[in-house]
Structure 1
Amino acid sequence: MRKITAGLFISLDGVVEAPDQWHFPYFNDEMGAAVDATLGSADTVLLGRRTYDSFAGAWPEREAAGGEDAGFAKKLGDARKIVVSNQQLAFTWRNSEQLTGELAEAVTALKNEPGGNIAMSGSVSVVRQLLAAGLLDELHLLVHPIAVRKGMRLFDEGETAIPLRLVSSEAFRTGVLNLVYAPDGTVDDATYDDAKGHLPQG
């Protein structure tokens, strides 16, 4: 089964909205490598409509311009891009298509197709739904040392907790933390009585 990995820029207070307004001072070669490991290594990219519109409005022009980011832009252009939307869409960026059918069923079918890893970038509402449905395999968070204090957070209000397991962590020179999480189905209920035995004694 194919693995779905979602990568997000996130502030210390959980904001994921409009990272272009606060994250560029922290972007260095370490972060570039982390982004490429998630997004640049996948043969399929799953995106929400707004994120797709943002990408399609920028990356084809960057590829055509032939600048320093043209190589990464070509990777995105060559990848199969699948867009989640309730509206019928028309595409001009090559290798783009719309996900059809109910989200969980369609993504399950996509994971069962032959192919390499499936990457996500941004697309917060889709990430939330896939996490809740147990379909997201890894969540890559680049946690920036800044409290943005306004904007949409990654996790919204909900009835059911989503336990996660830390797979790896790395601190960049800028203070950004590269945290990789996977779903954790092994967390049991516990109370203070269970925890107090781990407090320092004496």
Structure 2
Amino acid sequence: MRTVSFGLNISIDGYCDHTIGNPSEELMDYFTGTMDDVDLLFFGRVMYQLMFPYWSDVAENQSGTAAENRFAQRFSAIDRVVVSRSLDSGDVDHTNTQIIRSNPAAELLKLKQQPGKKISVDSVSMLPELIAAGLIDEFNLVVHPVIVGKGRLLLDAGSLQEKLDLKLVNTIHFKSGCIALHYLKQ
């Protein structure tokens, strides 16, 4: 069975936003490395539209820094599934993107049971449902040294029926002050 990995940038005060920091070359290389074992990206519509076509444009035009270009090429090459009721096939960025309309937990379970590498999930809105279904095997959180005081929280109060115990298996400190935390579900 494939491993499902949830990854996200987060502020010290628990807000999730890919715009809270300006990733260093070192951090971009870390993000690229996390994609080495991934062959499927699983997004909600909002996160998908944040990431694409931005990163595919960077990959095509080589318009970022060297580290951003490496990340963009790796990230854009990975197959994707987008959970959305409103996107049409003409709204997606590439031929390697599939749209599913409902029941993300059931769809992710089917994908998890297929052969392949890791599945990377990057959707705060679906996180409680996917945790409740027991589908998230690991968490990769990058904590940025910033307090933002607003935005989307990783989990809203009351969104989980029971706690989820995790085991910290790796910590990486970056020169920028960011810390990457890798947890496994116990």
Q: With structure 2 as the length reference, what TM-score do the two structures score?
A: 0.86
Equivalent pair of 2:32/2:75 in contact (CA under 8 Å): no
Cα deviations by residue, 1:107-152 (Å, 9 ceiling, x for unpaired)? 111001111111133x211233212221011111111121111111
1:33-48 mapped onto 2 (5 Å cutoff)? 33-48=29-44
Aligned partner of 1:173 in structure 2 is 175
Aligned partner of 1:6 in structure 2 is 6
Question: Secondary structure of 1:125's partner?
Answer: coil
Aligned partner of 1:96 in structure 2 is 97
> How far apart, CA to CA, are the structure 2 residues paired with 1:84 and 1:130?
13
> How far apart, CA to CA, are the structure 1 residues paired with 2:36 and 2:88?
24
> How far apart, CA to CA, are the structure 1 residues paired with 2:177 and 2:73?
30
The structure having more radius of gyration, on CA atoms, is 1
> How far apart, CA to CA, are the structure 1 residues paired with 2:70 and 2:88?
27
> How far apart, CA to CA, are the structure 1 residues paired with 2:84 and 2:36?
23
Aligned length: 179
How well do the aligned residues superpose, as a CA RMSD in angstroms?
A: 1.9
Equivalent pair of 1:169/1:177 in contact (CA under 8 Å): yes
Question: Secondary structure of 2:153's partner?
Answer: coil
What stretches of structure 1 of length at least 5 have no aligned partner?
185-202
Aligned partner of 2:77 in structure 1 is 78
Equivalent pair of 1:81/1:95 in contact (CA under 8 Å): yes
Cα offset, 1:66, TM superposition: 2.3
What stretches of structure 2 of length at least 5 have no aligned partner?
none
Equivalent pair of 2:171/2:182 in contact (CA under 8 Å): yes
Is 1:16 matched with 2:16?
A: yes
Equivalent pair of 2:83/2:102 in contact (CA under 8 Å): no
Cα deviations by residue, 1:33-78 (Å, 9 ceiling, x for unpaired)? 3211223541111111111112223122212212333333232232
Tell me the amino acid that sits aligned with residue 157 of structure 1.
Answer: A
Equivalent pair of 2:10/2:144 in contact (CA under 8 Å): yes
> How far apart, CA to CA, are the structure 1 residues paired with 2:184 and 2:173?
19
Cα deviations by residue, 1:5-49 (Å, 9 ceiling, x for unpaired)? 1211101110103x31x211xx22332232112235411111111
Question: Secondary structure of 1:93's partner?
Answer: coil
> How far apart, CA to CA, are the structure 1 residues paired with 2:86 and 2:142?
31
Equivalent pair of 2:85/2:102 in contact (CA under 8 Å): no
Cα deviations by residue, 1:161-187 (Å, 9 ceiling, x for unpaired)? 222221221222222111111222xxx
